[in-house]
Amino acid sequence: MAKHEEVKNGVIFPAGEKNDAFAKYFVGQSYLKTLVADPKVNVGVGNVTFEPGCRNNWHIHRNGFQLLLVTGGEGWYQEEGKPAQFLKAGDVIIIHDGVKHWHGAAKDSWFEHIAITAGTPEWLEPVSDEEYNKL
């Protein structure tokens, strides 16, 4: 049994549906509940839930930023050239424009964060199993 199983149903907001629209940019299964998608507001807000071991590909936010508000479980965040940071509920990550990074669940835990995003993501290569398994 994975740690933080309660996260799979959502902590504050519902976990949402399988994240099929972005599945090609993830290793493993994620779920997305869009919270803000107003064309008059220049920012999107979503609740992203990751099954154990799920992580997104390396990516860069162009002409914008991303804020991650961790609401449950355990996961990882890493910027290119820096060590990965372990994440737990209550952690906040600020990702500036142009920074190559990835984020996702720990191998043995569900993980959830609110993502507040502006700009356009540039999706890159997956985080390799070799890189991920070193964590």
| For residues 4-28, average pLDDT | 93
Per-domain residue ranges of the chain: 5-134
What local confidence, expressed as pLDDT, does residue 9 receive?
86
At the fourth CATH level, the homologous superfamily of domain 5-134 is Jelly Rolls (2.60.120.10)
Return the beta strands (E) in the chain as ranges: 17-18, 26-27, 30-36, 44-50, 55-56, 59-79, 85-88, 92-95, 101-105, 111-123
pLDDT confidence of 5, banded at 50, 70, 90?
Answer: confident
- pTM listed for this prediction: 0.95
Phi, psi dihedral angles at 109 (to 5 degrees): -145, 145
